[in-house]
Amino acid sequence: MTDPLRLGIAGLGTVGAGVVKIVQRKANLLAMRSGRPVVITAVSARTRDKDRGVRLGEYAWEDDPVVLARRDDVDLFVELMGGSDGPAKAATEAAIAAGKDVVTANKAMLAIHGQDLAATAEAAGVALRFEAAVAGGIPVIKSLTEGLSGNEITRVMGVMNGTCNYILTRMQSAGLSYDAVFREAHELGYLEADPTLDVGGIDAGHKLALLSAIAFGTEVDFAGVQLEGIERIASADIEQAADMGFRIKLLGVAQMTGRGLEQRMSPCLVPADSPLGQLEGGTNMVVLEGDAVGQIVLRGAGAGEGPTASAVMSDVMDIARGIRVSTFGQPAGSLTRPTPAGTATPAPYYLRMALQDKPGALAKVATALGEAGVSIDRMRQYQHSHETTAPVLIVTHKTTREALDKALAGIAGTGVADGRPVAIRIEAV
Amino acid sequence: MTDPLRLGIAGLGTVGAGVVKIVQRKANLLAMRSGRPVVITAVSARTRDKDRGVRLGEYAWEDDPVVLARRDDVDLFVELMGGSDGPAKAATEAAIAAGKDVVTANKAMLAIHGQDLAATAEAAGVALRFEAAVAGGIPVIKSLTEGLSGNEITRVMGVMNGTCNYILTRMQSAGLSYDAVFREAHELGYLEADPTLDVGGIDAGHKLALLSAIAFGTEVDFAGVQLEGIERIASADIEQAADMGFRIKLLGVAQMTGRGLEQRMSPCLVPADSPLGQLEGGTNMVVLEGDAVGQIVLRGAGAGEGPTASAVMSDVMDIARGIRVSTFGQPAGSLTRPTPAGTATPAPYYLRMALQDKPGALAKVATALGEAGVSIDRMRQYQHSHETTAPVLIVTHKTTREALDKALAGIAGTGVADGRPVAIRIEAV
């Protein structure tokens, strides 16, 4: 048995308390597996007097996480405060400067400052690991960085925001509107303080940017992620997509193309019977594709105390075991700066529009599509009921987004469709 | 850049050739990721003159894998010959004795001799790793050993023999008999030279025994796996299970119980809409359950050149990166000897029997079940057609295997059922 690994934990919310519980309750198991005791020496949080359901009295307390990060009796700084800048970043930098290894669950900080922090950690000869930042308990960073290290990665996909997946699957199962389910999710405490982080796709976009960097050996480029949230998804789309054998998911896709690095986080249609299509509620799923391994699908809880603490402990145990891997799987200096692909890889699209009940209306739509070079795979016109417009659904053949936009403009020009048609990409999974 | 990692590869079948291709074609990527060149210096196989689709002329050739394993210019011995004993074991032992790290894809060798080999490797201070031995390209050993190292593992399940899953799903989709699909699989080259290894559940049982050791910190105990193959599964069971919302899978389950370590590899019914139920063809799936992380599901190709070579390379790259983890996740000497659970955890069962067309026949069956303490959840009697017996299906409530066997004996005693009733466990997944 060698020296203990001494943790300093900053941030004692749900995840922090979960980590403390694991370290306290499984001391023997952790020591057996890593070959050395794993202990906590100091903790820090915004408020000291709060019942967190764990014993903290035996640990030194620091009000300032930066001071915690520099303590002599801390070998590994565990950053669980969150926020891309502010105390999290200051304390992480302080820990690195003081020669401490760092484990963080902070996707926002790494998506924005990951390149700099990784380079700094590398120069200081310390580890900076972040399994808990992506897809909760799923060991996706480890699988991609180490498990598939003999592969050229061809594509990474994922449903990585449980809240969005909860909203979309609940809209479908309960037949409720987006607004109704959004309120419900808010009441259940599923949403971030700023809900845009969830429903706007930002949180999931951060995670995608981190996976891209590892997969393609590129600098983290969150600004290069084409973001679209789920706010505009209507019940009608969910219902009618289902009717055509699809589900709507907030899906992240990253792939290296001849046009540069394509990173998208947006609502997509996927086949209802695919693993991604079958994903219900708050569960996360990541799909990794490599030239040797083919397709690997990983599924598990994307958030919550236990799963996220499990991921933090995976990094902690790696460090206890002496496992040292570059933050993004190769030296930070060798990551290349990606050129964002300006446009998305061609795909089929799902279109929904309200067509006026006039003779020749459908022909005009078909003509507009044809003139833009967009061909129709399937089409359904629904009953008019008592409206003066009829819902029309179209599934196109594979097309570029540019051609599609031209077609949508053409359709608008005919004056036979009310409002703006809905267009959602259909992803081949 | 430090010294290259020099591989000696014994066994140049599909997987061996796949590993050679990756090392040759991705030299830059591997060096970038691991921080050092990964090269091959020597190879060995049964026959030298054979076109394997890869350049081998630049490597030293050894007829004897034991000699290869001891070569001074080999740092890491890659064992891809297979077979639990014979040359594979001799060469592995020689490599360990010579102070070389070892990577193997050999589930049979590790299932039988894993404990001894791990202890020997540990005493010699070398690594012995086996990602490719379980579930092909899926990084399941890494996920369990490292990714979930902060968890107490509660259960491990898996469909880990692609051939069996192919046979079972093909029987369902094509409505063919076991014998017909078995012949088909044989012609397609899907079966091992000794098909019992596949259809008898032995191969999958080896894999389960390896996962159990890591999950529960126990010595590998293949002899403790309750094995049952798929040879007796009839088309009728597949059809009628489907009719009741189930699929039949050759499912491995390992869990620590109050009665000891339960390890089963046997045909089970699982819900058709569960991830395991939806698994088609040759794909593998492993389900890992931990007290913190909940349930993690991993899915991917379980065999084939690319996926298996990808798993071998994962271990090779770990060693190139200096990652050293005990073979079964903790020191070999700390693994406890498991007591096999004599009996399986209670579960519902599916029963199928041919009931004679006599008044009171069904009542006699129900009585026999009741007397054994087995209660009925659902029952279906199918049309008689032109037979003198009618198929009857019963889904029981949760019961012990002992009570069920008593019930089956009771049913036999009534004389109203032709032949022996079929009984298949329904696993809660």
Residue entry with tokens 């395991």: B276
Is-contact B225 B265, C-beta < 8 A?
Answer: yes
Residue B394 — pLDDT band, cuts 50, 70, 90?
very high
Asked if the C-beta of B317 comes within 8 angstroms of chain A's C-beta atoms, the answer is yes
- Confidence (pLDDT) at A385: 67
Q: How far off is chain B from A360, nearest CA to CA, in Å?
A: 44
Taking residues A4-14, report their average pLDDT: 97
Beta carbons of A317 and B131 less than 8 Å apart: no
Nearest to A149 among B152, B299, B317 (CB): B317
Which CATH number characterizes residue A398's domain? 3.30.70.260
- Tell me if A67 sits within 8 A of A32, measured CB to CB: no
Segment A376-389, tens digit of pLDDT: 999 998 876 667 88
Q: Who among B18, B152, B297 is closest to A300 (CB)? A: B297
* Cα B215–chain centre separation: 14
Query: What residues in B contact A290, CB-CB < 8 Å?
Result: 310
Given pLDDT bands bounded at 50, 70 and 90, which one contains residue A350? Answer: very high
Lowest mean pLDDT among A89-93, A290-294, A381-385, B52-56: A381-385
pLDDT number for residue A1 = 52
Domain ends where: A52, A83, A104?
A104
Pairing relationship of beta strands B38-44 and B60-62 according to DSSP bridges = parallel
Across B57-64, average pLDDT: 97
Interface-testing mutation among A7, A40, A149, with chain B (most B C-beta atoms within 10 A): A149
Q: What is the mean pLDDT of residues B320-325?
A: 96
| Mutation choice for B interface testing from A1, A29, A103, A146 by most B CBs within 10 A | A146
- A-chain residues near B15 (CB < 8 A): none
How far CA B136 is from CA of A323, B15, B107, B130, B165, in Å, comes to: 24, 10, 11, 10, 14
Does the beta carbon of B294 lie under 8 angstroms from any beta carbon of chain A? yes
Q: What value of ipTM does the predicted structure carry?
A: 0.95
State the nearest Cα–Cα gap between A329 and chain B, in angstroms: 6
Q: Let me know whether B262 and B366 are in one domain.
A: no
In angstroms, the CA A212 to CA A182 distance is: 29
Q: What is the mean pLDDT of chain B?
A: 95
Q: H or E element: which one contains A38?
A: strand A38-44
Mind listing the pLDDT tens digit for each residue in A51-75?
Answer: 999 999 999 999 999 999 999 999 9
Is a pLDDT exceeding 90 seen at residue A429?
A: no
Whether residue B30 lies within 8 A of chain A, CB to CB, comes out as: yes
Q: Does A29 sit within 8 Å of B152, measured CB to CB?
A: yes
Q: Please state, rounded to an integer, the average pLDDT across all residues of chain A.
A: 95
Residue A310 lies in a domain: no
pLDDT of residue A193: 86
Which stretches does DSSP call E strand in B24-121?
38-44, 60-62, 76-79, 101-104
State pLDDT tens for residues A240-249.
999 999 999 9
Residues A92 and A161 in one domain: no
Instruction: Give A60 to chain B, closest Cα distance, Å.
Output: 23
Pair of tokens at residue B92: 């592995």
What's the average model confidence in pLDDT over B375-398?
87
Measure the CA–CA gap between B136 and B158, rounded to whole angstroms: 12
Using a CB-CB distance cutoff of 8 angstroms, which residues of chain A are in contact with residue B324? Answer: 321-323
Neighboring chain A residues of B278 at a CB cutoff of 8 Å? 273, 275, 278
Residue A89 annotated among the catalytic residues of the structure: no
Q: B285: which strand partners?
A: B159, B299
Is B117 a member of any domain?
no
C-alpha radius of gyration, chain A, whole number? 24
How many structural domains are present in chain A?
Answer: 3
Q: Are A137 and B293 a contacting pair at CB < 8 A?
A: yes
B144 touches chain A (CB under 8 A): no
User: Which residues of chain A from 213 to 272 reach within 8 Å of chain B, CB to CB?
Assistant: 217
Tokens for B83? 């077979």
Give yes or no for a contact between B45 and B19, defined as CB atoms under 8 angstroms apart: no
Token pair for A417: 């469709």
Would you call B293 and A306 a contact, using CB atoms and an 8 Å cutoff? yes
Quick check: is B168 in a domain? yes
Percent of chain B with pLDDT over 70: 99
* Residue A122 pLDDT: 97
Residue type at B145 in one-letter notation: T
pLDDT grade for B72, boundaries at 50, 70 and 90: very high
* Same-domain check for residues B358 and B413: yes
Q: What pLDDT does B419 receive?
A: 84
Q: Are residues A149 and A248 in the same domain?
A: yes
Contact B146 A318 (CB under 8 A): yes
Model pLDDT for residues B357-385, shown as the tens digit of each residue = 888 999 999 999 999 999 999 999 887 66
Are residues A224 and A362 located together in one domain of the fold? Answer: no
Query: Which range marks the domain in which residue A279 is found?
Result: 141-302
Which positions of B are catalytic?
A: 207
Is residue A131 pLDDT above 70, yes or no?
A: yes
What dihedral do alpha carbons A209, A212, A214, A216 form, nearest 10°? -150
- What is residue B357's predicted lDDT score, i.e. its pLDDT? 84
Q: Provide, as residue numbers in chain B, all residues whose Cβ is less than 8 Å from the Cβ of A152.
A: 26, 29
Measured over the CA atoms of residue A179, residue A185, residue A191 and residue A194, the dihedral's sign is positive
Residues 6+ apart with CB under 8 A from B299: A275, A296, A297, A298, A299, B138, B275, B279, B283, B284, B285, B286
CA distances (Å), A392 to each of A354, A370, A411, B187, B367, in order? 6, 17, 13, 49, 59
Q: What is the DSSP string of B211-228?
A: HHHHHHTB---GGGSEE-
- What distance in Å separates the CA atoms of residue B97 and residue B90, rounded to the nearest whole number? 11
What three-state secondary structure class fits B258?
Answer: coil
pLDDT exceeds cutoff 90 at A373: yes
Is residue B297 in some structural domain? yes
Clarify whether residues B214 and B275 are in a common domain: yes
Enter the tokens of residue A70.
């520099």
- Mark which of B104, B124, B148 sits at the end of a domain: B104
More confident residue, B193 or A216: A216
User: Considering B104, B121, B155, which residue would you say is the last residue of a domain?
Assistant: B104
Whether residue A148 is found in the same domain as residue A70: no
A5 CA: distance to closest CA in chain B (Å): 14
- What's phi and psi for B281, nearest 5 deg? 60, -145
Q: Has residue A318 been placed in a domain?
A: no
Residue B385: what pLDDT?
A: 67
The stretch A402-421 carries a mean pLDDT of: 93
pLDDT at B35 > cutoff 80: yes
Q: Is B321 on the interface with A (CB under 8 A)?
A: yes
In a domain, A127, yes or no: no
Do residues B194 and B144 both lie within one domain?
A: yes
**Residue A124 forms contact with B (CB below 8 Å):** no
- For the stretch A260-304, pLDDT in tens is 999 999 999 999 999 999 999 889 999 999 999 999 999 999 999
**The domain that contains A44 carries what CATH number?**
3.40.50.720
Does one domain contain both A254 and A181?
Answer: yes
Q: Is residue B74 part of a domain?
A: yes
Q: What tokens were used for A143?
A: 């699988």
Do B94 and B144 sit in the same domain of this protein? no
Nearest CA to A34 among A314, A312, A320? Answer: A320
**What's the length of chain A?**
429
Rounded CA separation A248/B340 (Å): 46
How many angstroms separate the CA atoms of B206 and B212, rounded? Answer: 10
**Residue B370: predicted pLDDT:** 96
Residue of chain B whose alpha carbon sits nearest to that of A153: B29
Same domain, A81 and A150: no
Query: Which token pair is A387?
Result: 């409206």
The region of weakest confidence among A89-98, B63-72, B235-244 is B235-244
Candidates A207, A249, A364, A406; catalytic one: A207
pLDDT of B1 > 70? The answer is no
What residues contact residue B177 under an 8 Å CB cut-off, 6+ apart? B171, B234, B235
Q: Is the pLDDT of residue A190 over 90?
A: no
Structural tokens at position A193: 């303080």
Q: Find the mean pLDDT for residues A140-158.
A: 98
**Record: contact A146-B318, CB cut-off 8 A:** yes
Residues A75 and A182 in one domain: no
**Would A391 be classed as within a structural domain?**
yes
Q: Residue A32: list chain B partners with CB under 8 A.
A: 217, 330-331, 334
A325 vs B330: CB contact, 8 Å cut-off? no
Residues of chain B above pLDDT 90, percent: 91
A278 contacts in chain B (CB < 8 Å): 273, 275, 278
d(CA B239, CA B213): 36
CATH of the domain at B219: 3.30.360.10
